[in-house]
Structure formats: structure tokens, C-alpha cells
Chain A
Amino acid sequence: MRRFSLKSLISEAFNAHQGWERQWRAPEPKAAYDAVIVGGGGHGLATAYYLAKEHGLTNIAVIEKGWLGGGNTGRNTTIIRSNYLYEESEGIYEHAMKLWAGLSQELNYNVMYSQRGVLMLAHNSHDVQSFKRHVYANRLAGIDNEWLTPDEAKEFCPPLNISPTLRYPIVGAALQRRGGVARHDAVAWGYARGADAMGVDIIQNCEVTGFRRDAAGAIAGVETSKGFIATKRVGVVAAGHTSVVMARAGLRMPLESFPLQALVSEPVKPVFPCVVMSNAVHAYISQSDKGELVIGAGTDQYISYSQQGGLHVPIHTLDAICELFPQFSRMRMLRSWGGIVDVTPDRSPIIGKTPIPGLYVNCGWGTGGFKATPGSGNVFAWTIAKGEPHPINAPFTLDRFRTGRLIDEAAAAAVAH
């Protein structure tokens, strides 16, 4: 792998950039691998990367039905934070947060992780109570999260309207300074390049269509649109399509797939320094390095695999954005789109074994899994390599839906992303 650096960039500038090599190969699938990862999103690629890097498993493949990062990795609003409520969630999101901090250097790929701060607005006493609960819980876990007065919030984010005459005035805010955003596509590409360099085969335009099991019922391989691939270990990381893939292994999942929409405005000069989320009025917003306001809407109310939803959903979010930031009313929506998010009953992911030996699943990240990408890939790689969960993902079992040991972030706070 040719290292990226200012030096290599300048020397290529003199060479009219003729010398750059492919960032990853386009191999044909081999007949067999030690492990196969289904899904070439950020989580799948990170899993492969850490399998190769930390567990020495390099004879592995990532199978992606479309183009790398074309799923939710390529269509999310990129909010990264770790100030979750429950110890289980704190564990995995903070693990990811620590990896984010060094990811560009680790991958030798600038993923533009920008720790510009995530501000969550409180609009009523319930929000105050809930956010303080987070702030205190996070402190016990060593995770930064501060409570701000409206004035302090305004100082941190000057465009904020803290007038007490708003329909839902801002009565305070929780700020995670280490939170921020990253360049979503680069995350997929950086992991792909890193994994490829260690020998991982990344196979695009190849759909997993079925599973083969051995006499004992364990995984023997996957059927794909490019033929059968033998392997004893399969990790399914197919996000919105998890139910579809798992159905091919005969498993039903506690998942529903909903369209989740987002939009960007036309690009403007820097006006918005951080990430702002408001749960009470359903809005979240940041400004990309290119200058667009990146705005996330809610899910549509029905299951759909169409990556599109109704106009009323982004409108509802823009109502709230313009209530909080009336100066943005003259900004224009440039593009809106949707992704398909797989939602669990408790809004927490499922990471680990399945009833089928050799079949592992990592799913249910719903509307908020981008931030977990490095951590999720890291512990899932461990789980696949060792055949048992890493302590961090041990609570995120499928079995919790039977026992009732849910990790209900949504019920506790009703905050996503």
C-alpha cells in the first residue's frame, strides 16, 4: 500500500497524479475463505480490517451487493458522540470514540473526524432531568458531557435562538465536546484500503443469496450472485437488509426496517460551528466542511426498502429547524434522500452469535450506528475470531429479548443518533 502523505501528494502533483494505485483491488471471489463478512458498509469493512489486523485472519472476504459504503454509511448525517445513558451503551460508544480519535492516522486516510462538539438542547423540565441523568451517568463512566445554561449554549453555538418567547424555549443543553462529525464515505474507503492492503478480498456487486449448512447445522458457506463461497464463519453486517439476509438462513429477527431521511442545503460559508440536536422538536443539524447544512429527519412510519419516504417527514424537521434558527428559512434544500435503518425494539444493537453455529450478526444500529463504526467492527471482529463475545458487546445479545434484559436507550431518553 502506497502511503498517503503531503510528500507523496506533492510528488504526484509533479507527476500529474499518474502514479496513484487503486485504493483496493477488485478481486474475483475465491472458492473458500476463513471468514466471510456480508455487507460492505462501514461496520462490515471495519470488522474485516480488525479481523486482519488484530486477529491475523487475512484470508477473508467482504461481500457487498452494491458499491462499498452505499448503504447507510453513505447516507447518514455523521453525528458522533458517546454520551449514552446505560453502562452497556457507554461501553461500546466510548470504545468507538477512542478509536475515532486516532482513526485517520491508523488508516493513513483522513476521515476528517472533527471534534466540534455535539449540543443537545433541552426544552422542558423532562429534558432537563433526562439530560442531567446522562451527564451524571457519563461522568461515572469517564465520558465527557457537560450541562450548559442557555447563555452558555449560545456562546458555544452563536446561531442559537435562546429567546424565552420561543414556542419551546431552550432551557439548557448537554454538550459533549469530543463529539462531532466525520467524512462518512472516507470511513468506508479508509477501512477498505486498509483491509485490502492486508489481503482482505473486497468483492462488490455480489449479493449473498443464501447459506449452506453442514450436517451438524453449522455454516458451511454462502451462496452469492457470483457463486458459492465455502467458509465456516459468516458475519452478517447488512444494516437495513439484515432481516432479508437472515431469512435466507431461516432466522426471523426482532427488527423492522424503516426509511430514514436526511437533506442538505446549498453550501454556504461557515455559519454553524457544531452539531445541534433537539429531541423535543425533532431536529438535528450540522454544517459539512463543504458548506451544506446537513439536516436529519425522522423515520417514515412504515416498513420500506425503497430508500425514499414522504415529503412531510423532512418538512416536519425543517419546521423545527426554522423555529430554532429562523434565519435559515431562506436557505434552500439542495438534496434529500433516504436510507433504510434496521430498528430493534429497544433501539440498541444486536452483536454476537445466532442460533446457527458459525453465523454471527451485527445489526440493529437503527438511526444511530455510524458513530459506532470503529468500535462495532473492533468487537465484532473479536467475536468472530474467538467465537465468543468481547466483554463490550456481551450485553448486546439476541437473547435479551427473551429475558427482558433490554438496553432501552430510547425509553430512557428518546434520543437517537
Chain B
Amino acid sequence: MLLIPCPYCGDRPEIEFRGGGEAHIARPRDPQAVDDQAWAEFLFYRTNPKGLMAERWNHAHGCQRWFNALRDTVSDRILESYRMGEKPSGGGSS
């Protein structure tokens, strides 16, 4: 069970959280303006990286805030977490 650093509550056990998949996939500002392929990519296509990944978490059974975390999908080590709208401080790309 992961120990996830909630930016609001600190380290909390994974069972308090709901995973939200890849982070920083912007919803097109004007969805009606994008073509079917671009829309499909927004909906379904994912980097699914082996290595560093920015992902979304919701502290569902805690402060209920959504936030982002940088995690290595090979070691499962979490490098940092940051609030919605913020950028990670260091380390990662994506």
C-alpha cells in the first residue's frame, strides 16, 4: 500500500485515495473545435510511461482535494506531490 503525500494532509495511506490517471491532459478549451482524432486522443490516449509519471490523485477519504504527484512507475517511489494548477518543483518532465 502506497504512502501518498497529500499536499494538504501530509503522508496518508493509499486506501484513503482514488487514483485519477495521467495528469496534465488539458481538456480542449473549445471541444467542438477539435477533430475526432484529437478528441479521441484527449479522451483515451495516454502516455502510460515506464518511469516518471505525473498523475492525479484525489484524497477521497481525507480532505477530498484533487492533486498531482510525480511517481516512478517502475519503483513506485513518489518524488513529490503538488496542488492542482501548480507545477512540480523539480525532477520530472511530462
Interface residues of A (CB under 8 A from B): 241, 243-244, 247, 252-257, 301-306, 310-312, 344-345, 401-403
| A and B contact pairs by CB, cutoff 8 A, 20 listed | A243-B48, A243-B50, A254-B40, A254-B44, A255-B46, A255-B48, A256-B21, A257-B73, A301-B17, A301-B19, A302-B2, A302-B71, A303-B21, A303-B48, A303-B55, A305-B74, A306-B76, A345-B43, A402-B39, A403-B36
Bound form: Cα–Cα A254–B43 in Å? 9
Bound form: Cα–Cα A306–B18 in Å? 19
Residue of A nearest to B48 (CB): A243
Bound form: Cα–Cα A403–B43 in Å? 12
* A302 contacts B45, C-beta separation under 8 Å: no
Known: A244-B50, A402-B36. A302 touches B44 (CB 8 A): no
Which 10 A-B pairs give the minimum distances between C-beta atoms? A243-B48, A254-B44, A310-B1, A301-B19, A402-B40, A345-B44, A302-B19, A401-B40, A401-B44, A244-B50
Mask of B15-47 contacts with A, CB within 8 angstroms, 1/0 = 101110110000000000000110111011111
Bound form: Cα–Cα A244–B46 in Å? 11
Bound form: Cα–Cα A311–B15 in Å? 11
* A306 contacts B46, C-beta separation under 8 Å: no
Bound form: Cα–Cα A253–B22 in Å? 13
Interface size on B, as a range, is: 20 to 34
B89: interface (CB < 8 Å): no
* B47 contacts A243, C-beta separation under 8 Å: yes
Residue of A nearest to B2 (CB): A310
Picked from A256, A306, A310, A311, the residue with its CB within 8 Å of the CB of B74 is: A306
Picked from B17, B21, B45, the residue with its CB within 8 Å of the CB of A254 is: B45
B80: interface (CB < 8 Å): no
Residue of B nearest to A255 (CB): B48
Bound form: Cα–Cα A196–B41 in Å? 40
Known: A301-B19, A306-B74, A402-B37. A311 touches B46 (CB 8 A): no
Contact residues in B for A403 (Cβ distance below 8 Å): 36
Bound form: Cα–Cα A303–B43 in Å? 17
Shortest C-beta distance, A298 to chain B (Å), equals 13
Picked from A306, A310, A344, the residue with its CB within 8 Å of the CB of B75 is: A306
Interface of B is mostly: mixed
Shortest C-beta distance, A351 to chain B (Å), equals 17
Residue of A nearest to B15 (CB): A312
* A303 contacts B73, C-beta separation under 8 Å: yes
- Which residue, B18, B46, B71, has most C-beta atoms of chain A within 10 A? B46
Shortest C-beta distance, A345 to chain B (Å), equals 5
Bound form: Cα–Cα A256–B46 in Å? 7
B53: interface (CB < 8 Å): yes
Mask of B63-75 contacts with A, CB within 8 angstroms, 1/0 = 0000000010111
Extra A-B contacts (9), CB below 8 Å, given A255-B46, A302-B76, A304-B76: A253-B48, A301-B19, A302-B19, A302-B55, A303-B48, A306-B74, A306-B75, A401-B40, A401-B44
Contact residues in B for A241 (Cβ distance below 8 Å): 50
Bound form: Cα–Cα A197–B31 in Å? 54
* A301 contacts B18, C-beta separation under 8 Å: yes
Bound form: Cα–Cα A302–B48 in Å? 10
Residue of B nearest to A311 (CB): B1
Residue of A nearest to B36 (CB): A402
Bound form: Cα–Cα A178–B22 in Å? 40
Bound form: Cα–Cα A40–B45 in Å? 25
Bound form: Cα–Cα A402–B40 in Å? 5
Contact residues in A for B50 (Cβ distance below 8 Å): 241, 243-244, 305
Shortest C-beta distance, A248 to chain B (Å), equals 11
Bound form: Cα–Cα A184–B46 in Å? 30
Contact residues in B for A304 (Cβ distance below 8 Å): 73-74, 76
Shortest C-beta distance, B79 to chain A (Å), equals 14
